[in-house]
Amino acid sequence: AATQNQRLTIAVQKSGRLSEQSIKLLKACGIKFNLHEARLLAHSQNQPIDLLRVRDDDIPGLVMDGVVDLGFVGENVLEETRLERVATGINADYKALRPLEFGQCRLSIAVPKEDSYQCLTDLNGKRIATTYPYLLQNYLKQQGIQASTAVLTGSVEVAPRAGLADAICDLVSTGATLEANGLQEKDVIFTSQAQLIQRPEALSPAKQALVDQLLPRLDGVQLAKE
């Protein structure tokens, strides 16, 4: 495990919306990687740093469990994992190091365009399809709404048409997917961007020194982009 390893282990999404910019940011910080292979682990050529390339959903848990030292992940996935772990009594601690300037999106409730939806209370007794049941139920509870959920890990936007749910709660960036599926965005329940997070327990002095060197570089790269 990373905890015994003297190399700093960083989890990044293997292939998806956050992969390219996570790697690009690390490269801009001067860490060299060769990523041509379909390997799980990629060693840096110039630093004692390894990249672990996994599904984004696995990254918060790997960091919270200390299996890896750092992780690049969307706040939506991070907060969903945290809420799920808190609800099931599993350690959900982590250190937030930096918000990152990519992966921006929002988690929103949307309903079919022809729906007579006026306000959130119209969702009482309804079923909402989502990939984020903890974030959704947390929000509904705060708002005093009782609605059930249908958990789907993909194709959430087709659930109303398929008769599986009355509404959806899904990630939105441009809104094109909602539009293409005859849905309209009603309530934004969570706004998200990518984050760099660290495991809760202290790192070895050598690894901490690497992180202390990485963060100012990362700040410099992000500042330069503004």
Residue 46 binds: one of Zn ion, ligand PRT, none (C-beta under 5 to 8 A by kind): none
Residue 182 contacts which entry, Zn ion, ligand PRT, none (Cβ below 5-8 A, type-dependent): none
Does 170 bind Zn ion (CB under 5 A)? Our answer is no
CB of 102 to ligand PRT, least distance (A): 8
Out of 61, 71, 74, 133, name the contact with ligand PRT by CB under 6 A: 74
Q: Which is nearer to ligand PRT, 106 or 217 (CB)?
A: 106
Residue with tokens 């934004």: 188
Q: Does 176 bind ligand PRT (CB under 6 A)?
A: yes
The DSSP bridge pattern shows strands 70-74 and 8-13 to be parallel
Amino acid at 151: V
Q: Indicate whether 76 belongs to the interface with ligand PRT (CB under 6 A).
A: yes
Cα separation, 21 vs 37, in Å, equals: 18
Per CB under 6 A, the list member of 50, 56, 79, 166 interacting with ligand PRT is 56
Question: Among 33, 50, 56, 76, which residue interacts with Zn ion (rule: CB under 5 A)?
Answer: 56
According to the binding rule CB under 6 A, does residue 77 interact with ligand PRT? yes
- Amino acid type, 76: N
* Farthest CA pair distance, the chain: 60
Q: Is there binding between residue 57 and Zn ion (CB under 5 A)? A: yes
Q: Is 148 in the site for ligand PRT (CB under 6 A)?
A: no
Out of 10, 42, 83, 105, which residue is the one contacting ligand PRT (CB under 6 A)? 105
* Binding of residue 152 to ligand PRT (CB under 6 A): no
Applying CB under 6 A, among 170, 183, 199, 211 the residue interacting with ligand PRT is: 170
**Judged by CB, which is closer to ligand PRT: 176, or 224?**
176
Binding site for ligand PRT (CB under 6 A): 13, 16-18, 55-57, 74, 76-77, 103, 105, 170-177, 192
